[in-house]
Amino acid sequence: MRDWALYASGILGLTAAFLHGLLGETRVFARARIEPDRLRLLMRLVWHCSVVAWAAVAVLLIAAPTMGSPTARCWIVGAAVAVFGFAAVANAWATRGRFFGWMMLTAVVILALAGL
């Protein structure tokens, strides 16, 4: 059952990463007017750094049950809780809780902890 919690956490984390990148491009940067253009490019790249980080940690969550190492499992879950937990708190604070992102990220954290 713990393995399935990690699989679910990883799949939800990948979904969150994909949606973050998609909504960033279609909703945020489509409307944002950032000058100069080099700063706009920088903001986009920084935005997508979180997409890559979330996807990488999510893949580790999916792979953790197959590693056969309880220590690796603990470190992966710890890293996931730190990354997705900070993102959940930041999202809830920045959007004042009016966007579903923080709930999805919190679910990743809860499932990862259940898989510990």
The domain locations on the chain are 2-114
Q: List the pLDDT tens digit at each of the 116 positions of the chain.
A: 899 999 999 999 999 999 999 998 998 888 888 889 889 899 999 999 999 999 999 999 999 999 989 999 999 999 999 999 999 999 999 999 999 999 999 999 999 999 99
What's the rounded Cα separation, in Å, for the pair 59 and 49?
Answer: 15
Q: What number of other Cβ atoms are within 10 A of residue 2's Cβ?
A: 12
Say how many residues make up the chain.
116
pTM of the shown model: 0.91
DSSP string, 23-70: HIIIIITTT---SSHHHHHHHHHHHHHHHHHHHHHHHHHHHHHHH--H
pLDDT in tens, 27-59: 888 888 888 988 989 999 999 999 999 999 999
Residue corresponding to tokens 């999202």: 91
